[in-house]
Structure 1
Amino acid sequence: MADHSPAFSSAEPPAVSVRHDDSLVSVPLRRTVHLDIMLPPGYEQTTRNYPVLYLNDGQDLARLRMMEVLDSLYQKQAIEPFVLVAIHAGDRIQEYGTAARADYMHRGSKAGLYTDFVLTELLPYIKKHYRVSSEPATSAFAGFSLGGLSAFDLVFHHPDQFGRAGVFSGSFWWRSKSTEDGYRDETDRIMHDLVRKGSYARNLKFWFETGTEDETSDRNNNGVIDSIDDTLDLISELEKKGYRYSANAPWSDIRYVEIKGGKHNQETWSQIMPDFLIWAFSKE
């Protein structure tokens, strides 16, 4: 395990440091899983355990400008210090998805193995080698697109491990039938069905983002793109399950952010990242 933390002079403010960790070899995934661990300012000078954020598609940290985002938030004292575990994707089309089942094209066929990796290998490894909290309330999982679907699936089904999910442009269109085979919104979106059949957990909270230019598809021709429809419909399913939703209400279990002109890319997700991080790790 190599530590490539940048050096700072005493005249400079404390900054985030990064460790590139290639020591975790996964049995179910049959590959080395590359990790970038972003440590908060002062990590080396303390003995405390920190909140933790696990992030899918960790190879995209540079495009997300994550170092710049975190340094800015810490300098403003806008968030509590936390450890970020950025998980580099492997075969993301197969490893990301819903653990319970693949989609109609058999994408996500290794999502169950990815869940196994996270629960039985990644979490114990991180807790052994880094000072992170074991409390679900201080553990979050987030991701983008298919990685967001994966993150939501992990948090929703494992409230004993995680307390918060962050979903950027989530692939909630994930479906069991093609449109040619009689697909229906009401029955064939996999994650919506899993929420309907799942259990309410009082400790869970959810953050969702969509952009008005995430895509152009509009299956039901209602003038709203599918990514927005699918996300709002999932929020409705969560409400039916018992989760509370009211825009900007401090008691809400759900936060939804819709970005006018937002696209399905890292630049948009970087733009809204501070909103998510303040929601997840606010000092208030």
Structure 2
Amino acid sequence: MQFTSDYISLKGSVFSFNLDRSVAFRLVAPPNYRESQTLFSVLLMNDGQDYVGLNLEKTLSDAYKDKKTIPFIFVGIEADQNRLYEYGTSISADFKGRGNKAIQYSKFIIEELIPFLGQEFKVSPPVQNWVYCGFSLGGLSAFDIVFNNSQFFGKVGVFSGSFWWRKKAYQKHDMEDRSRITLDMIKNSKHRAPLQYFFQCGTEEETDDRNKNGVIDVIDDTLDVINELQSKGYSYPGDICYKEIEGGKHDLSTWGSAMPQFIKWAFQKD
């Protein structure tokens, strides 16, 4: 009897000295992983506990069958009750103190998880088709880590990113609204790293519209980030891909529906 598989999957954990806890993860690899003599690209994902809700089993299986896709390994990093403090921006917590462990989380990814994956699995050296993605606050975290550590990554995917993250509470009629941390992080960066960006938003994620311009905040905040990246020399379209889903909500179903396109963008062969 001949046996075939769609993918290889395992769950485990690794202890982080930076976070002082064990971090659970799920790793999924193409079915030819064991016998392959080549090294695999890597897709890291925050909120790996949402693997099932995002329908990633089918998405990854389909990607592994696609001959136009570079073979890659998926690593979903699970969050725990510390999510609101470990995710955020490493340069600063927000005005309520959320994200005060984001620097430790960034160090966990760079100093501990990446070396661990390199030691234990057949992964390519960082930068060579290493991609990081996340959703909502996890998307903000992924953007922050990639933008500030471009020596390890080439691309980042941000789904409904929490780019509202700010140094002080929003004040009405603040037209510039420069208290959003990510905008100043981009503006104050010293050079344009060779990165590519994928952003996704849905038109029905919320009804909030701080500046009353007729555009919901999650879209406004994302477009402002894109504008700030353009001011640093990134091209849109080109270096930046933006996908707006009509009727899309702030939920796993919407994000999961965008994942196949994101994976094609991230790992499509030239």
Fold match, TM over 0.5?
Answer: yes
Give the partner amino acid of 1:228: I
Distance in 2, matches of 1:201 and 1:187, equals 21
Aligned to 1:267: 253
Distance in 2, matches of 1:203 and 1:122, equals 22
Q: Report if the CA contact (8 A) 2:127-2:153 is conserved.
A: yes
RMSD (Å), alpha carbons: 1.6
> Residue 110 of structure 1 is aligned with which of 101, 111, 116?
101
> Residue 57 of structure 1 is aligned with which of 39, 42, 47?
47
SS of equivalent residue, structure 1 residue 207: strand
1:188-243 deviations in whole A, cap 9, x for unaligned? 00001100001333420000000001111100001100000000010000000011
| Unpaired stretches in structure 1, ≥5 consecutive residues | 1-8, 247-251
Q: Compute the displacement of 1:182 (Å).
A: 8.3
What are the within-5 Å matches in structure 2 for residues 228-247 of structure 1?
Answer: 228-246=219-237
Q: Is 1:279 the equivalent of 2:265?
A: yes
Distance in 1, matches of 2:167 and 2:150, equals 25
Q: Is 1:161 the equivalent of 2:152?
A: yes
Distance in 2, matches of 1:138 and 1:199, equals 24
TM-score scaled by length of structure 2: 0.95
Aligned to 1:144: 135
The number of residues matched between the two structures is: 269
> Residue 96 of structure 1 is aligned with which of 84, 87, 101?
87
| Unpaired stretches in structure 2, ≥5 consecutive residues | none
Aligned to 1:207: 198
Q: Report if the CA contact (8 A) 2:170-2:177 is conserved.
A: no
Taking structure 1 as reference, are residues 201 and 16 closer, same or farther at Cα in structure 2, changes over 3 Å only?
Answer: farther
Taking structure 1 as reference, are residues 222 and 28 closer, same or farther at Cα in structure 2, changes over 3 Å only?
Answer: same
Q: Share of identical aligned residues, percent?
A: 43
Q: Is 1:255 the equivalent of 2:246?
A: no
Taking structure 1 as reference, are residues 207 and 200 closer, same or farther at Cα in structure 2, changes over 3 Å only?
Answer: farther
SS of equivalent residue, structure 2 residue 92: coil
Q: Report if the CA contact (8 A) 1:41-1:81 is conserved.
A: no
SS of equivalent residue, structure 1 residue 256: strand
Give the partner amino acid of 2:62: S
Aligned to 2:125: 134
Q: Report if the CA contact (8 A) 2:172-2:211 is conserved.
A: no
Aligned to 1:32: 22
Give the partner amino acid of 1:73: A
TM-score scaled by length of structure 1: 0.91
1:172-193 deviations in whole A, cap 9, x for unaligned? 0001111259866442000011
1:251-278 deviations in whole A, cap 9, x for unaligned? x000000000000111001101011000
Taking structure 1 as reference, are residues 11 and 30 closer, same or farther at Cα in structure 2, changes over 3 Å only?
Answer: closer
Query: Structure 1 residues 72-81 or 168-177, which shifts more?
Result: 72-81
Q: Compute the displacement of 1:166 (Å).
A: 0.4
Q: Is 1:179 the equivalent of 2:165?
A: no
Give the partner amino acid of 1:25: F
Query: Structure 1 residues 38-47 or 95-104, which shifts more?
Result: 38-47
